[in-house]
Every structure is written in C-alpha cells, then in structure tokens.
C-alpha cells in the first residue's frame, strides 16, 4: 500500500489536489480533522479522549491521533494507498507515524510538497478569503503569520523526509490540471 503525505503551505492547493489524486488512484484521503470528527461522532474510546482535549481548547495529543490513524489503517487493507493531509506537521508526529506504520509492516512512500512562491500564496489566500468568507484568509497580516509559522514548523519535517530520500518537491504553480498532472506523474514513478 502506498502512503503519501501531501504537503505545502496554506494556499498551495492541497485539498483540491488531494481530491484529484483520490479520484485518479482510488486512494483514501486521510484528513486528520475529518478523522477526529468521525471518531468523536462514533463515540470511540479515542474519540472520547480527543473530545476532552478539544472541549478544553487544547490540541489532541499525537499518540491519540496516531492511534486513530492506526485503527483506520487496520480497517482499510483494500485501498491501494492513503493520502495524508494535515498530518504529520512536526518531526515528532512524523516519527510516531513512521513507527506506527512499521508496526503494520508499512511505511511512508513519499512526501509530495507543493512548492508555491510566497506572493502567489498570499494572492490565492486573499481570493479564497473573499469567496469563502474564511476570516483567516481575509487579512494579509494573518496570512503572513500563517505562512511564517508553516515555514518555521515544517522545514524540519522536510529535512526529515529528505534524509530518508522521500521528499519530492512538486511545482505548485499553473492550472489545477497542470499541477494535478505533475502529481499524478510523480506518483506513477513511485
């Protein structure tokens, strides 16, 4: 089974491209936000644990999220692959995910990183803010902070997967179809 991390800064188009990869390859799209909401709605043990943290305004601990991912991986042996969206975000999360997958006799195939210039990200996010009403995409200062935080928090993750030979930068500028074609062609080579 392929395990692909779709990666990129806010505004890179991860959600759009993840769905296109899912449609093309019949992969499972694993969004940690969706996974958390599903576990909470199903009132699983891990979901109830997560709800306590969320209700207290705290981040759900890595081990709880990893447990949810492991439970899902154990149930989905029929899909050809998984696209991770929004996870991992730190080296500690990447190591925990790597360890969990190793226990399942699996591993991360690649980190596919959508590379988009700073000015293009700001432009995309402002447009998305106007059309979606998302307040975090409507203010330039907020956008700049999100991009800065992404850079600070994620560079170590890129370094981690580069050292493992699994980091693959993908040009994230062009039409949706052009970017999708680049991603699909890269996945076919893996």
Q: Is 37 a catalytic residue?
A: no
pLDDT at 79: 83
Range with the largest mean pLDDT of 52-56, 77-81, 103-107, 177-181: 177-181
- Average pLDDT (16-37) is 89
pLDDT at 84: 92
Q: Is 14 a catalytic residue?
A: yes
Read off the pTM.
0.84
Q: Is 182 a catalytic residue?
A: no
Catalytic residue among 70, 123, 128, 182: 128
pLDDT at 103: 87
Domains of the chain by range and CATH? 2-181 (3.40.50.300)
Range from 115-119, 132-136, 153-157 carrying the lowest mean pLDDT:
132-136
Catalytic residue among 37, 51, 70, 89: 89
CA distances from 66 to 103, 111, 135, 187 (A): 12, 18, 30, 24
Q: Is 89 a catalytic residue?
A: yes
| Residue for token pair 């890179």 | 12
Residue 12 in this model has a pLDDT that exceeds 90 = yes
Q: Is 124 a catalytic residue?
A: no
Residue 86 in this model has a pLDDT that exceeds 80 = no
Residue 167 in this model has a pLDDT that exceeds 90 = yes
């Amino acid at each position: 089974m392929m395990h692909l991390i779709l990666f990129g800064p806010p505004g890179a188009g991860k959600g759009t491209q993840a769905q296109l990869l899912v449609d093309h390859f019949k992969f499972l799209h694993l969004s940690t936000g969706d996974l958390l909401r599903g576990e909470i709605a199903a009132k699983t043990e891990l979901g109830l644990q997560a709800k306590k943290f969320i209700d207290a305004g705290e981040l759900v601990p890595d081990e709880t999220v990893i447990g949810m991912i492991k439970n899902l991986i154990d149930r989905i042996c029929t899909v050809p692959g998984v696209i991770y969206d929004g996870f991992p975000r730190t080296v500690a999360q990447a190591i925990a995910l790597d360890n969990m997958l190793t226990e399942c006799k699996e591993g991360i195939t690649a980190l596919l990183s959508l590379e988009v210039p700073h000015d293009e990200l700001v432009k995309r996010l402002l447009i998305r803010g106007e059309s979606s009403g998302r307040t975090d995409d409507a203010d330039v200062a907020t956008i700049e902070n999100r991009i800065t935080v992404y850079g600070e928090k994620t560079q170590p993750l890129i370094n981690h997967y580069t050292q493992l030979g699994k980091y693959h930068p993908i040009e994230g500028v062009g039409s949706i179809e052009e970017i999708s074609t680049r991603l699909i062609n890269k996945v076919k080579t893996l």
